[in-house]
Amino acid sequence: MQLTKAMDDSKLTLRHWWIWFLASMGIFLDGFDLFIIAVGLPLIANEFNTSPEMLGLIGAAAPLGCIVGASIFGRFTDKIGRRALLLIDLLFFVIFAGASAFAPNEMWLIFLRFLVGIGVGADYPVSSTYITENMPKRLRGRMLVSGFGFQALGALSGALLGYAILKIHPELNAWRWMLGLAVVPAIIVLIFRAWLPESPRWLINQGKHEKATRLAEKMTKTSVKLEIANPPRKGSFFTLFTPTFIKRTLLTSLSWFLMDIALYGIGFFTPIILSSIMVNHSGSYITQDLNSAKGAVFLDIFWIAGILIAMWLVEKWGRIRLQTVGFFGMAIGLFIFAGAISINDETIKVIMVFVGFIVFYFMSNMGPNPMTFLLPAEVFPTYIRATGHGFASASGKVGAAIGIFLLPVLKDSIGLFSTSIFLGLTALIGFGLTAILGYETKGRSLEELESIETQMSEAEEGLITVQDDIRRLNSDIKRVEGALAKAIQEMRRARQ
């Protein structure tokens, strides 16, 4: 059996599950880090007496680092391989997440959080491409979505740990314990990742067919043939913006950008928003942070529920339908939340706030949140897969940084109602963008998708050639018409 067909048709083996789990744990750390810092942020604000602008910068530092990590290391993942980057990205996280717990002031905390973000951002393209290239075709979408679901598990774990630390150690410096303990799962994952193999599909594109064959046979437990493949294909960052790939680049990058503006803007400050909405403001800031952390944990349940529904529907509805429906649902949730803010009855107000949050979290995680992670891993070919995914996820983190930085500023300047309406409109733009640019990848092998790319490229080149021929023909016809008109005029003058 041919190597790629054997991998596409393989049953799930223990090696598949091991690859999936260890790659997914990088996404777990992203969610864990996002919510552990979200719970700790009110404490940081009190310890450093932080302004809204500086609080936004502390929050946005890691997403800004993600922009650098995803874009640069995404390209390196295509050049030096998936396995090496699976280790490098976690080294960044371990070293600088631990150091951030000892930050002496705001500026040091921002700097160290930025470096943590580089490691988190690098993991997005490498983990997604690694899962995509190793999973059987019929389960690829579900394995990617469930792998991305580890972000929700990480978020829930981060919120729970933050709550537990506040209960055990209700002191101002509790946030340092929160950030420092994030290193523990990262070290464990780093140790086990050292034993992972390289991606056979990446090896094929590098011309290393014998090694790819050996690894594929171990994974599928099937005898496979050495494929006579095309010469290794090379690309660059600028390949993403050629006519062949520009639509895919716009679809994956802009939809992720718009989704993260809303998701990180709301998600990052959920404890603070809940704290400002809750009726009872009595007690210390520790007590208020505990209450808002409990609310965040409750909402994380609907984050996980959305991911579970996406796992069920991704191979039934397809990627594009889930993303469009999810974007629309996000907007509805944000508009409900905005409407709740102006309600005077405090009991109804709190209920409607939670309803808006529930709809927002559920629909975003049923659709755009996992789909924006999944689509770049499928629509780009092997030789620029991590590059494309890195650019898309970097674009998402630009949106995340904007959402995190702007939300506290907008909340103070124009109010929570107008801020929520603004975020709802970004979700509606994402809905329209996906509906216009999206095309379905469900049920196709990666090689089929690459052949479609080649066919489309050849068709586009053919159409361009025909277009050029028509332009030349029109030009020739105009010259002939001019010559005929001139000849007729000369004949008329000769008669006269």
| pLDDT tens digits along 385-401 | 999 999 999 999 899 87
- Confidence band of 341 (pLDDT split at 50, 70, 90): confident
Residue 92 pLDDT exceeds 80: yes
Section 94-120 average pLDDT: 92
CB 29 within 8 A of CB 93: yes
Q: Which residue has the higher pLDDT, 284 or 437?
A: 437
Residues 188-215, mean pLDDT to the nearest whole number: 91
| Highest mean pLDDT of the ranges 128-132, 208-212, 293-297 | 128-132
- Half-sphere exposure for 179 (CA within 13 Å, toward CB): 25
Q: Is the pLDDT of residue 328 over 50?
A: yes
pLDDT digits (tens, 9 = 90+) for 134-187: 999 889 999 999 999 898 888 778 878 888 888 888 888 888 998 888 899 899
3-class DSSP assignment, residue 225:
strand
Residues 6+ apart with CB under 8 A from 214: none
pLDDT at 458: 47
Q: What's the mean pLDDT in 454-461?
A: 50
Mean pLDDT of all residues in 419-437: 93
- Give residue 330's pLDDT: 95
Q: What pLDDT sits at residue 53?
A: 77
Tokens of 187: 């070290």
Is 90 exceeded by the pLDDT of residue 349?
Answer: no
Residue among 274, 271, 59, 55 nearest 163 (CA): 271
Place of tokens 């650019």: 391
Would you say residue 236 has pLDDT above 90? no
Among 122, 30, 65, CA closest to 387 = 122
Residue 198: band (very low, low, confident or very high) from pLDDT cuts 50, 70, 90: very high
Average pLDDT value for residue range 270-284: 56
Residue spans per domain, the chain: 3-444, 446-496
Assigned CATH class of 3-444: mainly alpha
Query: Would you say residue 464 has pLDDT above 60?
Result: no
> Quick check: 9 and 137 in contact, CB under 8 A?
yes
- Nearest partner of 117 among 468, 405, 397, judged by Cα: 397
At residue 227, does pLDDT exceed 70?
Answer: no
pLDDT at 465 over 60: no
Confidence of residue 470 (pLDDT cuts 50, 70, 90): confident
For residues 437 and 466, give the distance between their C-alpha atoms in angstroms, rounded to a whole number: 25
- The pLDDT assigned to 463 comes to 52
Give the pLDDT confidence of 402-420 residue by residue, as tens digits.
Answer: 887 777 777 778 887 888 8
Percentage of the chain lying above the pLDDT 70 cut? 87
Q: What are phi and psi of 225, to 5 degrees?
A: -90, 150
**What is the mean predicted confidence (pLDDT) over 235-262?**
93
Cα 201 from chain centre: 22
Structure tokens at 91: 């080294």
pLDDT digits (tens, 9 = 90+) for 57-85: 887 788 889 899 999 999 999 999 999 99
Calculate the average pLDDT of the chain.
84
Determine the pLDDT at residue 230.
62
Mean pLDDT computed over 328-351 = 87
Tokens of 215: 């690894």
If you average pLDDT over residues 294-316, what whole number do you get? 82
Mean pLDDT computed over 449-457? 61
Q: How many CB atoms lie within 10 A of CB 456?
A: 14
Residues in Cβ contact with 323 at an 8 Å cutoff, skipping those fewer than 6 apart: 255, 367, 368, 371, 372, 375, 430, 434, 438
Range with lowest mean pLDDT among 210-219, 342-351, 444-453: 444-453
What is residue 317's predicted lDDT score, i.e. its pLDDT? 92
Whole-Å CA distances, 7 to 220, 244, 291: 6, 27, 49
User: Picking from 9-18, 113-122, 161-170, 284-293, which range would have the lowest pLDDT averaged per residue?
Assistant: 284-293
Q: Is the pLDDT of residue 279 over 50?
A: no
Contact 349, 217 (CB under 8 A): no
- Mean pLDDT of all residues in 374-382: 93
